[in-house]
């Protein structure tokens, strides 16, 4: 493979996922990931601080989510603004092309405690990003916290449904469906 090709982070993530599936997370090194991607170790570290982070996409997801919340119509209720953020993710990040990769990634995460812990921390960070974005929209503290926590739950439900290979629906509609279900469950409680 030629040394320079576009999308080094994507190539590194794909190589890492392949190697984690083939040899296990613990038995895969950064050097092996870089070599499989046709890159150097120093290129790997230009994009990721360690092999764990190669599966977590940097700040891309949080940035897209915050951008969607921020650009929601001014009159949008807090949870509707969060839904706009989830829609933005569905349009630009959780695409049909990423579905298979995401399902494989989730299987690797589920098999390793360290990666599950990192995923949990990532979701906490995403919730905090939603809270900040809602606060910037003028949403009061407690309301922003509740909307962000519910948004995180909606995200989790929609994501689990989206990575299911038997489900052909896009992420955005799945998130809207999950939001309606969460709202209905909240009305019963």
10-residue mean pLDDT series, the chain (189 residues): 71 96 95 96 94 83 93 96 94 88 94 92 94 97 97 95 87 95 88
Quick check: pTM over 0.85? yes
Q: The domain 8-51: what is its CATH number?
A: 1.10.10.60
Rounded-to-integer distance, Cα 22 and Cα 93, Å: 26
> Two tokens at 109?
């995460």
HSE at residue 122, side-chain half, CA atoms within 13 A, is: 21
pLDDT of amino acid 4: 56
What are the residue ranges spanned by the domains of the chain?
Answer: 8-51, 56-188
Which of 188, 187, 161, 164 is CA-nearest to residue 174?
A: 161
Which of 118, 120, 122, 152 is CA-nearest to residue 134?
A: 152
> Two tokens at 142?
């407690």
Query: DSSP state, 167?
Result: -
Specify whether domain 56-188 bears CATH 1.10.357.10: yes
Q: What's the distance, Cα to Cα, between the start and end of the chain in Å?
A: 57
Rounded-to-integer distance, Cα 87 and Cα 170, Å: 10
pLDDT of amino acid 1: 47
> Two tokens at 122?
């990532």
pLDDT of amino acid 58: 65
pLDDT of amino acid 96: 85
Rounded-to-integer distance, Cα 116 and Cα 41, Å: 25
Same CATH topology for 8-51 and 56-188: the answer is no
């Amino acid at each position: 493979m030629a040394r320079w090709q576009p999308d080094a982070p994507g190539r590194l993530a794909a190589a890492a996922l392949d190697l984690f599936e083939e040899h296990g997370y613990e038995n895969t090194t950064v050097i092996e990931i870089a070599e499989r991607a046709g890159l150097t170790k120093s290129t790997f570290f230009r994009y990721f601080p360690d092999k764990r982070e190669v599966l977590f996409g940097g700040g891309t997801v949080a940035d897209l989510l915050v951008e969607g919340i921020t650009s929601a119509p001014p009159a949008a209720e807090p949870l509707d603004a969060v839904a706009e953020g989830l829609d933005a993710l569905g349009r630009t990040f959780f695409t049909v092309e990423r579905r298979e990769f995401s399902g494989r990634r989730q299987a690797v995460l589920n098999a390793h405690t360290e990666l599950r812990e990192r995923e949990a921390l990532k979701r906490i960070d995403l919730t905090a990003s939603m809270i900040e974005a809602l606060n910037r929209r003028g949403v009061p503290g407690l309301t922003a916290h509740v909307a962000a926590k519910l948004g995180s739950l909606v995200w989790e439900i929609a994501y689990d449904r989206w990575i299911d290979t038997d489900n052909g629906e896009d992420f955005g509609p799945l998130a809207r469906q999950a939001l309606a279900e969460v709202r209905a469950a909240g009305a019963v409680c």
